[in-house]
Amino acid sequence: MKTKTAHNLKILNYCFFTKQHLCRLRAVGKVTIYENTKSKNEATQRLKGTEIAVANGLFAPLTGEVLRKAKDLKLLIVNSTGYDFVDMNAAAECGIRVANVPGFSTEAVAEYVFALLFAIVRKLPTVDKAMRKTPFEVNPGEEKSWSLLGNNLQGKTLGIVGLGTIGKRVAELGKAFGMNVLAYSRTPKKIPYVRCTPFQEVLKKSDVVSLHLALTPETKKIISKKELKIMKPASIIINTARGELIDTGALARALKRQKIAGAGLDMIANAGTNRSICKEAAVICSPHVGWWTHESVLLQSETIVETIEAFIKGRPIHIISRPR
C-alpha cells in the first residue's frame, strides 16, 4: 500500500529548478509545474488543494479574491525580493504565510546600476551605432567625435535613495569608482563612506540618483515633477527598482526640456502606454533584466527549495507575512 503524499506543491510560473532541486522537492511531496499562470481563473483553479505554492507575482495574480479561494494554501513563495503585488492583508486573514527570496539578485542588480550608468555617461549606444555604420577613430578635429565625449564617474556624487541590501552594495561600488556617496534612508544607517542626508538634499546635490526602494503607497511616484525640478540639470537618474517609483510622464517632460541629462530605466510603469520615453535619446531602457544572470537564477531556485524544506520541517525562513 502506497503512503499518501504529505504535501501538495504547485509551481505556478516557470522557475529555474535543476534536476537536483526537483528531486529535493519531490522528496517532500507531489510537485506540479506550470510554465505560466497569468489569469485569476488559472490561479484560482491551480491553487485548489495546494498547500505550498511558488509564483511570479508580476504575472500570476495574487489578489485577495484568488487567495481567499485557496482554502488549503499554507505557504506562498514569491520568486522575487519585492512582494508589492501580493494582497498581504488577505493572506494574513486566510492564514497563509508569505515568503520572498531576499538577496538573490543583490550583486546582479547593483552591477547593472553601473551598466546603465556607464552606457549613459560614455554614450555607448550612440558610439556603437556610429561605429557599426562606418568604422572610424575619434579625431578631435572632427565635429562628430565631440558628440561622443563622455564623463568620468570619479569625483562625482552618487545619491542613493534606499539603503537596503542592494542600495548598500551600490554605495560600495560607487565608492570603489571614486564617487562621493550620499544616501537617503528611512531607517538611519551608519556606513563609513556614506553620508546620510534628507531626501531633498540627495536630489539637489547628486550627479547620479539611484533608486532602491520597495514600492508602497508612500513611495509610489516618489520621483515626480517637484523632485525632478530639484535635481541638477546635468544629473542622471537610474531606476532598477519598481517602475512606479517614477512619474514617467514627468520624467519624459524633464528630459525633453533638458531639466536633467539622462535616465537609465530597467522598469517602466505601464510600459505599454509609456513606451514613448524609450525613444528619448538620453534614456537607456531595458525590460527588467537587472536581476537576470546565471548566478541569480541559481541562487533564487536554491533559496526557494530551502524555504520549502524549512517550512515542512517546522522551521520557516524568509517569512514576510504571518497569519493573524
For the chain, domains (ranges, CATH) are 8-104+294-321 (3.40.50.720), 106-285 (3.40.50.720)
Q: From residue 288, how far is each of 58, 154, 163, 214, 243 by CA, in Å?
A: 11, 27, 20, 15, 9
pLDDT in the model for residue 274: 87
What number is the average pLDDT over the span 143-154? 95
- What pLDDT does 249 receive? 95
Contact call for residues 12 and 56 (beta carbons, < 8 A): yes
The answer to whether residue 66 scores a pLDDT higher than 80 is: yes
pLDDT at 201 over 50: yes
The pLDDT > 70 percentage for the chain reads 97
The total of other beta-carbon atoms located within 10 Å of residue 23's CB is: 12
Return mean pLDDT, the chain.
95
pLDDT digits (tens, 9 = 90+) for 176-200: 999 999 999 998 889 999 999 999 9
Q: What per-residue confidence (pLDDT) applies to 273?
A: 85
Q: Where are the alpha helices (DSSP H) in 185-277?
A: 199-205, 225-230, 248-256
pLDDT in tens, 245-259: 999 999 999 999 999
Say whether pTM exceeds 0.75.
Answer: yes
The pLDDT tens digits for 149-177 are 999 999 999 999 999 999 999 999 999 99
* pLDDT for the residue 1: 38
Which pLDDT belongs to residue 211? 98
What does the pLDDT read at residue 209?
A: 98
Q: Which three cell numbers stand for residue 294?
A: 546565471
* Grid cell listed for 191: 556606513
Residue 271 has what pLDDT?
86
Residue 31 phi/psi, 5-degree rounding, is: -115, 125
Confidence of residue 4 (pLDDT cuts 50, 70, 90): very low
**pLDDT at 321 (0 to 100):** 85
Q: What is the pLDDT of residue 322?
A: 67
